[in-house]
Amino acid sequence: MLVPGVGIADKAYLVSLSGVTPLKVTHGGGGARILLDDAPHAAAVVVTQDPLAIHHLNRTVAEFRQEAARLRYDVTARRLVRTVEIDQQLTDAGRPLAQAAVWLRDAQTNLEQAQRLFESSDFTSTQSAVSKAENLLAQVRRGHWEQTAGAFPSPAASPCIAQFTSLPLHWVTADRIRKGRWGANVQASGDMESLDQMLKAGWRQQRQTPEGVGCDVSLSLADPHGGRSALRLQAWATNPKQAPQALDRPLVWINSSPVPVRQGQLARIHGWVQVPKQLKASAEGLLVFDSLGGSELGDRIRLTQGWHEFTLYRAVPQSGELAVTFALTGLGEASLDDLSVSLLEPEPIRPAGGVIRVRGSGGSKPDS
């Protein structure tokens, strides 16, 4: 870490559940460089030259060291059980992770060692052994996640790959997607060919530009993905010398015309976007999200080489409407084209007993 304003006499300490540990500090241009060889999951770095402050920190950490070690061990032991369970489900689904068995076995060994150390009141070594187990479990979880997310251009494609524990559900959904028959495109005016037709279909734009910022939404004939035109969003500083350095909300966003959806359906949202240069005053880029998943599960597209394809799969929790939003979060431009929405109907409910036979009022011969 580079910390400005640190004096030559100041020292740095890492304060974690394991205790207070001195850190290496070197001074140079821009401030003091503080090196962490192994950063814990949660910790604080204290910079001080007051020995009384460090004495107070050591005394405070010592007061809860035993309870912290016990709680951390319990949490990691529970995580091990859950990780083993999910790993087995993924293996049974034909999606094994090559090193998972070794990492899980080593994590179990470290936890057993941590338990022995805790019983001998060596809480610092207990924390170290639990940390090793945590890192091994993190490797398993991350490995499975990367292996699954790698099948998509973006992790935002499916909510089921948002976290490790929902990965088995992802493969169930992926099998349904692969085997299902998707309906025709139901998104009106997604070809971006006529602004008048888009407005009549229900496309809307919203703007929230601060003072000194201008924006525009138009159909551009320059380099569309398909057809004659594409929709272009632009935002710029009216005075480049006073351009904002950071923006906390989108400047302009487009909402597609709503599509009726029913509970149990799957929706496939597909389209093309182009962001020729990274947007200024924002790290979000072009934010693409839908009304089912919300902006938290949206796809953040920061830079593309030409046209970039995106796909979002969403389950419909209740009947209503689905709309797609494209939000320009910074200064610059982005284009979108050929938006489509296709629906996959829910699988029919089949009775557990096989064929249902219904007797007519005559009583002797089944009708079906």
Dist. CA 170–CA 182, nearest whole Å: 18
Q: Where are the beta strands (DSSP E) in the chain?
A: 2-3, 11-16, 19-28, 31-35, 44-48, 204-207, 213-220, 230-237, 252-255, 259-261, 266-274, 286-290, 299-301, 308-315, 320-322, 324-328, 332-344
Domain-terminating residue out of 114, 145, 179: 179
Residue ranges making up the domain that contains 138: 58-179
In a domain, 187, yes or no: no
Closest by Cα among 6, 131, 136, 59 to 23: 6
53's tokens: 């402050």
Q: For position 173, what pLDDT does the model report? A: 86
Asked whether the predicted pLDDT for residue 356 surpasses 90, the reply is no
The reply to whether 134 and 174 lie within a common domain is yes
DSSP string, 238-295: SSGGG--S--SS-SEEEEPPPEEE-TT-EEEEEEEEE--SPPBT-SS-EEEEETTT-G
Mean pLDDT value across residues 8-26 = 88
In a domain, 245, yes or no: yes
Q: For position 361, what pLDDT does the model report? A: 44
Dist. CA 148–CA 163, nearest whole Å: 11
The reply to whether 96 and 215 lie within a common domain is no
The reply to whether 99 and 203 lie within a common domain is no
Closest by Cα among 235, 238, 246, 240 to 212: 238
In a domain, 10, yes or no: yes
Q: For position 367, what pLDDT does the model report? A: 43
In a domain, 357, yes or no: no
Dist. CA 186–CA 265, nearest whole Å: 13
Asked whether the predicted pLDDT for residue 360 surpasses 80, the reply is no
Q: Is 82 helix (H, G, I), strand (E, B) or coil?
A: helix
Asked whether the predicted pLDDT for residue 357 surpasses 80, the reply is no
In a domain, 81, yes or no: yes
The reply to whether 43 and 69 lie within a common domain is no
The reply to whether 146 and 234 lie within a common domain is no
Dist. CA 44–CA 236, nearest whole Å: 40
Q: For position 174, what pLDDT does the model report? A: 85
How does the average pLDDT of the chain come out, rounded? Answer: 90
The reply to whether 81 and 170 lie within a common domain is yes
The reply to whether 228 and 304 lie within a common domain is yes
Q: For position 351, what pLDDT does the model report? A: 57
In a domain, 189, yes or no: no
In a domain, 312, yes or no: yes
Model confidence, pTM: 0.74
Asked whether the predicted pLDDT for residue 54 surpasses 80, the reply is yes
Mean pLDDT value across residues 16-30 = 85
Q: For position 349, what pLDDT does the model report? A: 61
Domains in the chain: how many in total?
A: 3
213 and 206 Cβ atoms separated by less than 8 Å: no
Domain-terminating residue out of 119, 149, 179: 179
Q: For position 358, what pLDDT does the model report? A: 46
326's tokens: 């494209």
* Amino acid letter, 286: L
The reply to whether 35 and 65 lie within a common domain is no
pLDDT tens readout for residues 267-315: 999 999 999 999 999 989 999 999 999 999 999 999 999 999 999 999 9
Going by pLDDT thresholds of 50, 70 and 90, the confidence category of residue 354 is low
Top pLDDT among 308 and 346 is at: 308
The reply to whether 207 and 243 lie within a common domain is yes
119 and 111 Cβ atoms separated by less than 8 Å: no
Q: For position 353, what pLDDT does the model report? A: 52
In a domain, 185, yes or no: no
Share of the chain above pLDDT 90, in %: 70
Mean pLDDT value across residues 341-349 = 86
pLDDT tens readout for residues 104-142: 999 999 999 999 999 999 998 998 899 999 999 999 999
pLDDT tens readout for residues 159-210: 888 889 999 998 888 888 888 899 999 999 999 999 999 999 999 999 988 9
pLDDT tens readout for residues 61-112: 888 889 989 999 999 999 999 999 999 999 999 999 999 999 999 999 999 9
The reply to whether 217 and 324 lie within a common domain is yes
The reply to whether 272 and 149 lie within a common domain is no
Going by pLDDT thresholds of 50, 70 and 90, the confidence category of residue 359 is very low
The reply to whether 226 and 164 lie within a common domain is no
